[in-house]
Structure 1
Amino acid sequence: MMYGPFDAFRAADFQVKFATATWEKRGAARLRHEVFCAEQGLFGGDDRDAIDAVAIPIVAVSMLGLVADDVVGTVRIHEAEPGVWWGSRLAVAQDYRKVGPLGAALIRLAVSSAHARGCTRFLAHVQSQNGLLFRRLHWNIVEEKELHGRPHLLMQADLAHYPPILDAETGFHALARAGSVRRAA
């Protein structure tokens, strides 16, 4: 009997949290490089910049049962001035873009954790093709512009839809199969 090729295993449970372990921070940097340098060609050899020195990296970690496996999503946040926070470098591994709500979960933790830290305005430059996702997540377009040779939208989150999350170091679980999110134990 002949069997066809099997699809690669993809986790269905993810922990979305601040990157606190060294391997999580390295995984976020690797994923950003894969997406923004290798795949999209937005940056030459490295996408890191001065913001990385002050930014808080957030990761979506695939879970194998109770064991963390790999960083499959990331975003970074930083406070640019008192009360004004920015999100940037949102990336999800190619194999996980259609698995579940990883991008939305990363955005939720980014805005809600900043909200818990005194955020009164949360902004991001969003690639135009991702504008609809952000609009569905209660973001408004402030301005259209070009960055890195591509069309972007300056967008602002409606903080009323992002209640503060105080325990971002633990974060929450995002389940791909049901598209639901539950608090970490």
Structure 2
Amino acid sequence: MFEPFRPFLPCAFQVKFATATWEQRGAARIRREVFCDEQGLFAGDDRDTIDAVATPIVAVSMLGVTPDDVVGTVRVHEEAPGLWWGSRLAVAADYRKVGALGPALIRLAVCSAHARGCTRFLAHVQSQNGLLFRRLHWATVEEKEIHGRPHLLMEADLAFYPPIRDAETGFHAHSRASRTREALPAKAA
């Protein structure tokens, strides 16, 4: 009869500071889904005192030129002059295979902090994500346990993260599939 089909997933995303209320709510929703519901690290809500000073960053799926939904998030904050932290990196389960969202969120987090005077950028990274961060030019400073799970304290190599001054607008990221299609000659696509 009918062949099963995969649900539609947009292949273009805008990665930017969460400036609109719906983007901030979407970031909170993704964090709850990942850190509370899926991983069970927090009961009900993962918000903490850092949220009062942090800047949320979002990956927004695009339908053409229209923003659709928040599908990923991370937050950044300056702890001391020049010392910045990234935390609560999360991508919605259906979008993890896109492959570009985590790195794009990390890139905007570090590049936007670099533009604001960052001289050192740190993050506590769940150990299973260490390889991704190492591929993105991060180094492990130490291993530790946080919320009962192994984590790595990691530091970004700022030489690979040039300052981005227009983080409110950010940049566009594309799924691996769309980049592959774009790279193929017209006849092969």
TM category, shorter? over 0.9
Aligned position for 1:119:
118
How high is the sequence identity, in percent, across the aligned residues? Answer: 79
**Using the alignment, how far apart are the partners of 2:99 and 2:10 within structure 1?**
10
- Aligned ranges 1:25-44 → 2 under 5 Å: 25-44=24-43
Tell me the residue number matched to 1:83.
82
Structure 1, residues 45-68: CA drift from partner, whole Å, max 9, x if none?
A: 110000000000000000000000
Give TM-score scaled by structure 2 length. 0.93
SS at match of 2:169: coil
Q: By percentage of residues, which structure has more helix?
A: 2
Q: How far off is 1:6 after superposition?
A: 1.7
1:1-185 to 2 correspondences below 5 Å: 2-176=1-175, 177-178=178-179
Name 2:186's counterpart in structure 1.
Answer: none
Scaled by the length of structure 1, the TM-score of the pair is 0.95
| Counterpart-to-counterpart distance in 2, 1:36 and 1:44 | 9
- The code of the aligned residue for 2:156 comes to A
What's the RMSD between the two structures over aligned residues?
0.8
What letter matches 1:127 in structure 2? Q
Write the distance in 1 (CA, Å) between the matches of 2:83 and 2:101.
24
Q: Flag structure 1 segments of 5+ consecutive residues without an equivalent.
A: 180-185
Alpha-carbon distance in structure 1 between the residues aligned to 2:100 and 2:12 = 11
Query: For each residue in 1:136-183, what CA deviation from the matched residue of structure 2 results, as whole angstroms up to 9, or x when unmatched?
Result: 00000000000000000000000000000000000000011217xxxx
The count of residues paired between Structure 1 and Structure 2 equals: 178
What does residue 182 of structure 1 align with? Answer: none
> Which one-letter code corresponds to 1:73 in the other structure?
G
For 1:30, give the aligned amino acid: R
**Counterpart residue type for residue 28 of structure 2:** A
Deviation at 1:124, TM superposition (A): 0.1
SS in 2 for 1:98: helix
Deviation at 1:100, TM superposition (A): 2.8
- Structure 2 CA distance for aligned equivalents of residues 99 and 158 of structure 1: 25
Runs of 4 or more off by more than 2 Å in structure 1?
Answer: none
Aligned-partner SS, 2:143? strand
